[in-house]
Amino acid sequence: MPREPEFIHDLNDEQQRAVRHTNGPLLIVAGAGSGKTRVLTYRIAYLIQQQKASPNEILALTFTNKAAKEMKERIKQLIGDEARRLWMGTFHSVFSKILRFEAEKIGFTSNYSIYDTDDSKNAIKQLLRENNYDPKEIRPRTIQRLISDAKNELIHPDHYQEKFVHSTLDDITAKIYGQYVERLKHNNAMDFDDLLIKPIELFQKHEEVLEKYQDRFKYILIDEYQDTNHAQYKVTNMLASKYQNLCVVGDDAQSIYSFRGADIRNILDFKNDYEDAVEIPLEQNYRSTKAILKAADSIIKRNKSQLDKTLWTDNDMGDTITMLDNYDERDEANRVANYIKELKARKGYDYNDFAVLYRTNYQSRVYEETFRRKGVPYQLVGGLSFYQRKEIKDILAYLTLLINPDDDTNLVRIINEPSRGIGNKSLHDLMAQARAKNQSLWRILENVEAIDLYKPAENSVKKFVSMINELKRDMENGKRLVDITKKLLEKSGYMKALVEENSPKSMSRRENILELENAISYFEKNNTNPSLSSFLQEISLITDTDKYDEDKPAVTMMTVHAAKGLEFPAVFVVGLEEELFPVGSRDNEEVNIEEERRLFYVAITRAEEVLFFSHCRSRYKYGEEQRKRRSRFLDEVSPDVVRTETGASIKQNKKKLGQSNQTNHNSSGTTIEYDWKKPLYQKNNRSSNNTQIHYDNPDEDPFQVGAKVEHNIFGPGKIISRSGQGERTKVVIYFTERKQRKTLMLRVAKLRVVG
């Protein structure tokens, strides 16, 4: 056996144990900032150096392209160019590659399209219309989410009705789900979920294919295992079942993606799934100060569902965490901007050393306005993606047709974009023919003379088909992709239409298209065998985090979800208020609060040196100013390491902030109990002619913004704003079943608080 490489001594004792364990299942519980990426890369390099496996026998799965690229670069530094032969990438990119090789075995061609969320939504919208449902009433995005959930739980359309049909919406979803699956296959297309579940279908139907890839991948490593869903869990278990050399790395304390199907039980139950598994905790944190780490530890220890570990660090104690108590969100943004400028001057930070983290994307608007006004450069991660812009989606739809003309969704998108005289009626007639003959729309267009179509539209269809076929021949003859794209823009008239419009918006769209040409040119220069299919696959799998530029001299603004895996010298966690962070804190589901607490833990552990917590006393919502109470998490964090701006200790509410059918919270964050059997308001005894709402303590008024109520006529709802005082108090309620708002006088509304 070869001698151990020198690089093994770069690791601490626990990291070395993880790298040297080369036989059998391994669970590495890697706390925040504990060097998990280093352990993964060194482990892969060690397997190759010790001749346990060749590079192409190792499969490494990540959740972002950025992580995969970083790991591959590090491995290359350790072992050289052999790193290029590794199978390494995101779940979606790796399995889409496998499916390109094997697609015909499950009824697709190797040039299948990959539908992003927008493409899927459009396909579902079309199906709703074909089934005589109004997409304005039955939202395609809602149906899409339900179908996605079912797919990731491996629930077939035939079984959906048995498991989930409890309402009209479920019934519609069951109907559309089956049709959607058929439509995708008809279009030779897969959505993101299919890239995970189709390999399972492939392996179940073709055992010889499964065995081929089991023998190919003798070692499998999975990063961020706590973020895997049921489909990811299933497909990797199938691949690992022969050799059992499955190494998973993750941190249950950073499991924050249950909303998209991630199942924390995958990591919590790993040792039950693999009885011989070895568990190695990585507890030394190299990122944060002792003060930041103590704050994080005090928060996460309150969760019940977790693996046992305690992070520690040799770093300095560092500055205490500063808590900002703001009047409203504008005050908050102004003060954050001022602190950024002050810290930049005092500590010598650059702008890209700062991050502003928030719970939801809409919070970024006031920061964008404030930073622009104060001259603070920023980059926004998680906004509208370049590849989601209309003009880019249009050109990509054209390019998709060159390799997959049977893709009806993309064909419908651009058949009359820009306008070429193929109107809605003509398109409806063409699609009706396609459905009647069970053919793709493209096959109907190729034989348009065979149907009775408006003559000018027929001529336009012929020109369109001729243009696409000419571009396909150029591609087959080896013409450069960037030249094909330029010809497409000219022949289609797309660029000409933007120039003739001559508006600021059209000029901006033209610049975006020119940038797309640059992207295609760069792709061709940096790939050995560039193809249109591989380019479209690569850009379809780009994530928000992949677009983050850590070297850009600008403050980074992003949600906490988007920040996972990143680190910054100075971090501001803003909007720490009940019903914002944690979201939906009125729901008494401990598992939801535990995930929100894990999210707060992730936010804290992004910080290396300086950390700010910030909350507002009021915030605008639904066009109304609403009183806010600070997040319960600020009452859970260790008070030893948090100070106000003046340096004073923060005052914490020691009562448990919970919610049940008999509690309500006032603005100060304390818990108020009241008896449902007693009247919630009473008449003022001083005047029998003047009825007023009266409480011994105004803070005990349960009808605050956010309260869930019930009305005898309108049913259940939620108070979204409140105005006036005494007998003139009004509340605006959004009634969930009726999907409408009502403004009611509180003294006569006869409302009942329900939770």
Binding residues: 30-37
Tell me which residue of 325, 31, 24, 207 sits closest to 15, measured CA to CA: 31
Binding-site positions for ATP read 30-37
Reduce the DSSP state of residue 616 to 3 states and report it. Answer: strand
223 given a catalytic annotation: yes
> What residues have CB less than 8 Å from 713, skipping those under 6 apart?
none
Tell me which residue of 743, 738, 491, 498 sits closest to 622, measured CA to CA: 743
72 given a catalytic annotation: no
Q: What token pair was written down for 473?
A: 């021949």
Reduce the DSSP state of residue 168 to 3 states and report it. Answer: helix
Tell me which residue of 65, 56, 58 sits closest to 22, measured CA to CA: 58
Q: How far is CA 576 from CA 50, 589, 630, in A?
A: 49, 19, 6
Reduce the DSSP state of residue 745 to 3 states and report it. Answer: strand
- Half-sphere exposure at residue 437, Cβ-oriented, CA atoms within 13 angstroms: 16
- Spatial strand order in the sheet of 555-559: 378-380, 555-559, 354-358, 568-573, 607-616, 321-326, 642-644
The catalytic position among 224, 353, 594, 595 is 224
Reduce the DSSP state of residue 438 to 3 states and report it. Answer: coil
Is-contact 72 82, C-beta < 8 A? no
- For 103, phi then psi, to 5°, come to -55, -35
36 given a catalytic annotation: yes
Say which DSSP state 710 is in. E
The catalytic position among 22, 37, 161, 439 is 37
373 given a catalytic annotation: no
The catalytic position among 223, 332, 417, 608 is 223
DSSP codes joined into one string, 247-259: EEEE-GGG---GG
Element (H, E) at 58: strand 58-62
301 given a catalytic annotation: no
276 given a catalytic annotation: no
Q: Which amino acid is at 232?
A: Q
The Cα–Cα gap between 17 and 26 comes to 11
> What residues have CB less than 8 Å from 155, skipping those under 6 apart?
163, 164
The catalytic position among 36, 510, 597, 722 is 36
The catalytic position among 254, 306, 379, 433 is 254
Helix axes 168-186, 117-130, angle to 10 degrees: 110
**450: Cα separation from own chain's centroid:** 46
> Which residues, in sequence order, are bridge partners of residue 719?
733
Reduce the DSSP state of residue 746 to 3 states and report it. Answer: coil
DSSP codes joined into one string, 189-207: EEETTHHHHHHHHHHHH-H
Known catalytic residues? 36-37, 223-224, 254, 606
